[in-house]
Amino acid sequence: MELTHASNIASHISLYAFLATVLYYVVRSIYRLFFHPLSAYPGPWLASVTTMYGGYFDLVTGTDMVRQLPQLHTKYGPIVRISPDQLDIEDIDAYNEAFKIGTRYKKDEGFLPFRDTLFGIPDVPTAKKRKDVYMPYFSHAAIKKIEPLLQTIIDRWKGHLLEYSNSGQICDLSWGFQCLTLDAITQYCFSKDVHAVDHTDFIMPFLESLESIRPSATFSKYFSSVVTALSYVGPRLPPAISRYIFEGSHSFGKFVEDCEEHMRALNNATEPRPTNSYPTVFDSFFSTDASKSRKHPTLTDAQLTSEAILFVGAGMDTTGTALITTVWNLIHHPTAAQKLRAELRTCDSLDLEHIEHLPYLTAVIKESLRFSYGVPGPIARVVPEGGTVIAGRKIPAGTVVGHSAYVYHNNPDVFYQPEQWSPERWIDSTPEQKKEMDRFWMPFSRGSRGCLGMNLAWAELYLAIATLYRTFDVQNAGTTEEDMEWRDRLVTVQKGHLKVKLQKVE
């Protein structure tokens, strides 16, 4: 009897809890639709009610929310409410205002991965202090100075490609490019040679591990607290259980541990470090000049490690995806590949000094960056105090506004037939058209929070593509269109791998 009474009470409590939850969501939805500060802005009603409107495309259909944005702008105009607390903007003047040098727009803290790093610092003045330390190592002139380092890596990489062309074996260029960019970034940033390009078939456990955990970037956009909880619980679980749950991330974790050890050794070294033939970004914090402090004034071991991982993450996939996009499009446009090779044959050597002035090579890379986006978007910023006006409408201070390279790069009024990959558009267009295209071309973002590694990326792109096309004929070996479709993983990443056959041409 007592038992029945207790179970009645329990079922009543469950019912009330359920009704309270439903009521909470109904009231919250009504508030978001009619009383929220953004309720006056147009957009799909479901997007106003829940962030899972975007989650549906990103997590359920796998078609990516960012790809919906051009249609949404066509339907609703330059300002679209794409989630309860965020507007998406298609207005190049508003973009230039938010992404200029010295902008007052800070990064949105709602979704800010890599918290302990330069990337994760929301406000511009604080980020500037940290960025100013790095800037001298990423200027155009500084990157020119490390050309011998890049060239050594490229030569080793080319040596392995020659083995493929000799044996007639299929080469997985997706792994090949990632190994190349990984070696460049780890050696330049913290003088650590992981010999990625020397791995058999370019297969490296760290890269495989990274590939398996990439979808978590999309998941954490919607369930960041779950990811934070997992990263807290993971290391505290018994190793057997943790290995079972986090199997894919094991080698990634090992790489992080190695970095941690390396950074701790750098940070705590008492002996002056040997002078390298080239300056490396993190070594440079540790001056050999006795009159200067050996330590970077603000960064702890842990912060340096996070920063190292950020540099690897920021520099590898983005450059790798751009390289893959370039080759895939050249495979589909044999005339363009021939034109490129003819231009490369006019150079006595493939020095950066020469090749970065080649108009067709530059156009091929620029067009491929238009297609690979870097960060497709929306890149979110917060409207500063005093608010702003976009497309004639007032936007209150504190509003999160996003801009997407995917939207701007596909604007048909600026890029004629934007879906066509055409390096010629960067050569044959009128000066006015080129100026307008440059205004809408933003793979590296712009302004105070633009890409730190842009010059390094350009150098890698120039050297890798010039070396590949000067030395080899590149043919597809079973890669499908679907393999080369990209997914939005904060940065763009192709679904599958680019497999090619190489034949030596010189």
State the residues that interact with ligand HEM by CB under 6 A: 118-119, 127, 131, 185, 310-311, 314-315, 318-319, 322, 374-375, 379, 443-445, 449, 451-453, 456-457
**Look-up: residue for tokens 């712009």?**
446
CB of 145 to ligand HEM, least distance (A): 16
Rank residues 175 and 444 by Cβ distance to ligand HEM and give the closer one: 444
Q: Which is nearer to ligand HEM, 164 or 440 (CB)?
A: 440
When the beta carbons of 176 and 443 are compared against ligand HEM, the nearer one is 443
Closest distance to ligand HEM from the beta carbon of 297 (Å): 19
Tell me how far, at minimum, the Cβ of 215 lies from ligand HEM, in Å.
19
Q: How far is the CB of 307 from ligand HEM (least distance, A)?
A: 8
Closest contact distance (angstroms) between CB of 291 and ligand HEM is: 29
Token pair for residue 51?
A: 């962030």
Position of minimal CB gap to ligand HEM: 453
DSSP 8-state assignment for residue 491: E
Least distance CB 19 / ligand HEM (angstroms): 42
What does the block give as tokens for 10? 């329990």
Neighbour-count burial of 430, counting CB atoms closer than 10 A to its CB (0-12 exposed, 13-18 middle, 19+ buried)? exposed
Angle between helices 147-167 and 454-471 (to 10 degrees): 30
Question: Considering the complex, what minimum distance in angstroms separates the CB of residue 452 from ligand HEM?
Answer: 4
Q: Which helix (H) or strand (E) holds 268?
A: helix 250-268
Helical segments of 168-214, H only: 173-190, 205-213
The SS3 of residue 254 is: helix
Contact 117, 307 (CB under 8 A): yes
Question: Measured at the alpha carbon of residue 313, what is the angle toward residues 312 and 319, in degrees to the nearest 5?
Answer: 90
For ligand HEM, the closer CB: 452 or 464:
452
Nearer to ligand HEM, 455 or 471 (CB): 455
Q: How far is the CB of 79 from ligand HEM (least distance, A)?
A: 20
Question: How many Å apart are CA 330 and CA 468, to the nearest integer?
Answer: 12
DSSP class of 474: E
Q: In whole angstroms, how far apart are CA 133 and each of 79, 201, 344, 482, 495?
A: 37, 37, 36, 42, 36
- Give CA–CA dist 310/114, Å, rounded: 7
Return the number of the residue (206 or 311) whose C-beta is nearest ligand HEM.
Answer: 311
Closest CB to ligand HEM among 49 and 89? 89
Beta bridge partners, 423, equal none
Residue 385 carries which side chain, given as an amino acid letter?
E
Pick 19 or 135: Cβ nearer ligand HEM:
135
